[in-house]
Amino acid sequence: MIRTLLAALVSVSPTLLAAPFPGQDAFVAEVAAETGMAPSEVAAVLAGARKQQSILDAIARPAEAKPWRDYRPIFLNQARIDGGRRFLREHRELLSRIQASTGVPAEVVTAIIGVETSYGSITGRHRVLDALATLGFHYPPRADFFRSELKHLFHLVREEDHLDIGELRGSYAGAMGWGQFIPSSYRAYAVDGDGDGRRDLFGSLPDIVASVANYFVAHGWQRDGLVTLPARAGADTRPFERDGLRLNTTLGGLRELGWRVDHDGGDQLAATLLRLDGNDGEEHWVLFNNFYVITRYNRSPLYSMAVHQLAQELALGQARGLVRR
């Protein structure tokens, strides 16, 4: 929905409109050609965007820059665990249905929503239009990426006419809704879980839960697959060279190097090894396919480990009957 913003701009004095962004003319032409909008309409929407220094400041200090011992308590705390148990209890039927159809465990979907937005309570205060324009035109390290997301935003609001481009709010990086989907992910992976003909990641829990699960399935989630296992080095353990997050060896290959992993079989499973700085020193973890899939949601291995460990806590709560209270 773009008309609301355009109508508001008509009543605004031209002196209050944002100055053109650098490279705006070329961007306007591209969006107009891709969407069928008039260039003047695209330009008018951009005139309503504001460069926000707070957004540039936020992207310069991401939480993922912290060591694991400092990052983990942000998401693995009693309030987040209790909130997850409550979410599982209140939406058990929906989560169970999605788990049965997709293979993505209820506690994993819940952990994503918990880490991203504290179960929908903190979905972001920045206008998405401001965030993507600020980063797309004023943040050179990733300007191409964020300009692409800004284009997707224009497409998205034309495809989902219940969304107002001037009113959408989200994170400093332009992620939206309970699951924090950026515009390209919203377009590609959001689904209509309640059958009302709309994909609403702000107010429809069936849409939200189904979309998070669909994202995982689309990126290769394996039903009942391993996520990660702790590993221990011995006196004869030889070094392993990790290639980013690529699964560039197997569990058997790590065992041949002397890494001890308490798991029967599975030597053929693709894997890699991750070292983290924990409270008690170095931690080593064997990563499998489903860990890699979580990193497609957020590229940080710290994020993925937080999601996994929160999901483990929630699963433990279910096993103990804490969720059923």
Burial 264-273 (b: 16+ CB within 10 A, else e): eebeebebbb
The Cβ-side half-sphere exposure at 263, using a 13 Å CA radius, reads: 21
Listed as own residue / partner, the contacts of 273-276 with beta carbons closer than 8 Å and 24 or more positions apart are: 273/231, 273/240, 273/242, 273/249, 274/228, 274/242, 274/301, 274/305, 276/67, 276/68, 276/301, 276/302, 276/305
Nearest to 212 by CA among 110, 90, 125, 286: 110
Distance CA 111, CA 116 (A): 8
Distance CA 77, CA 82 (A): 9
3-class SS shares of the chain: helix, strand, coil, % to 5:
50, 10, 40
In contact, 211 and 188? CB cutoff 8 Å = no
In contact, 181 and 201? CB cutoff 8 Å = yes
Q: Which of 30, 93, 116, 159 is catalytic?
A: 116
Our answer to whether residue 159 is catalytic in this structure is no
Within 10 angstroms of residue 30's Cβ, the number of other Cβ atoms is 14
Catalytic machinery residues: 116
